[in-house]
Structure 1
Amino acid sequence: MKIETKYHGEIELNEKDVWHFEKGIPGFEDEKEFTVLSFNGNEVFYVLQSVSTPTLGFIISNPFSFFKEYQINLDDAVTHALDLVKIEDSMVYVILTVREPFNQSTANLQAPLVFNVKNKKAKQIILNDYSRKQPVAAAEAKE
């Protein structure tokens, strides 16, 4: 299928590349299908692109690549909702708020996105121990 995207223009997308958010993302409950797109030459930042809304694309990143102390515990409700049997079958990303200059950008560590790589189910969860606006200046130095 062809979709229009926020950052990549029109692309060809295979069904196997679609992630299913059963209840959407908080604030975007009607958006149930997304794909993760990479930027050429960049292995740190990605786009969580809505399959149905071209203008809806979130910049995301693996939080563990620049927040070494970050930890999440998935409770039974989350593992059940995602049909997640082994933690090794999951990926975690966080949504970034990108600002100019980049060192003023922040990561939402309070609401990570958890993906089950086996069945393509995904969910945004809420953690009370972290900030919604954690500076990501450390990630800039890593690039």
Structure 2
Amino acid sequence: MKIETKYHGEKEIEQEDIITFSNGIPGFENEKKFVLLAFPDNNVFYALQSVSTPDLSFVVTDPFSFFVDYNVKIDDATIDSLAIKKEEDVTLLNILTLRDPFEETTANLQAPIVINKKTHSGRQVILTGTPYETRHNLFQAKEA
């Protein structure tokens, strides 16, 4: 199936590449289907692209590429709703807020995206009782 995307133009995607967020993403509750698209010439940044809304795309990254001590405990409700059986079935991503210059880009560590790779289901989780905030500088973390 072909979709229009914010960063990649028209893109051919497979049904099995679609990640379903049964509750949507906070602020975008009606958006249920997304696909993860890699940006060219990198292995760190991705677009979490809405299948139905071309202009809705979140730039995301694997937090462990920047925050090696990032530690998230996924709550039982999320584990159950995503049918997570093994830790290796999980992909954890963080939404970025892009800044100009790019070196001032921040990551939302307080609300990671949790994806079950086996079931192609996802959920954004809001962490409580952690030191994580919605705007952690991406590149200061890597230098530290």
**Shorter-chain TM-score range:** over 0.9
Structure 1 runs not aligned, ≥5 long: none
Q: Normalising by structure 1, what TM-score?
A: 0.95
Mapped pair 1:80 → 2:80: yes
- Map 1:1-143 → 2, pairs under 5 A: 1-128=1-128, 129=130, 130-138=132-140
Q: Normalising by structure 2, what TM-score?
A: 0.95
CA distance in 2, matches of 1:105, 1:75: 28
CA distance in 2, matches of 1:136, 1:112: 14
Residue by residue, what CA displacement relative to the aligned partner does 1:68-107 show, whole Å, maximum 9, x if unpaired?
A: 1100011210100100011111010000001011121100
CA distance in 2, matches of 1:35, 1:139: 27
Residue by residue, what CA displacement relative to the aligned partner does 1:87-137 show, whole Å, maximum 9, x if unpaired?
A: 111010000001011121100000000000111010000112111000011
| Structure 1 counterpart of 2:9, one-letter code | G
Identity of aligned residues (%): 50
SS in 2 for 1:43: coil
Contact 1:102-1:137 at 8 Å conserved across structures: no
- Measure how far apart 1:139 and its partner are: 6.8
Residue by residue, what CA displacement relative to the aligned partner does 1:37-85 show, whole Å, maximum 9, x if unpaired?
A: 0011111100000000000000000001110110001121010010001
Contact 2:66-2:142 at 8 Å conserved across structures: no
SS in 2 for 1:30: coil
CA distance in 1, matches of 2:88, 2:30: 29
SS in 1 for 2:85: coil
Structure 2 runs not aligned, ≥5 long: none
| Structure 2 counterpart of 1:99, one-letter code | R
Q: Bigger shift: 22-31 or 70-79?
A: 70-79
- Measure how far apart 1:138 and its partner are: 4.0
Superposition CA RMSD, Å? 1.2
Number of residue pairs matched by the alignment: 141
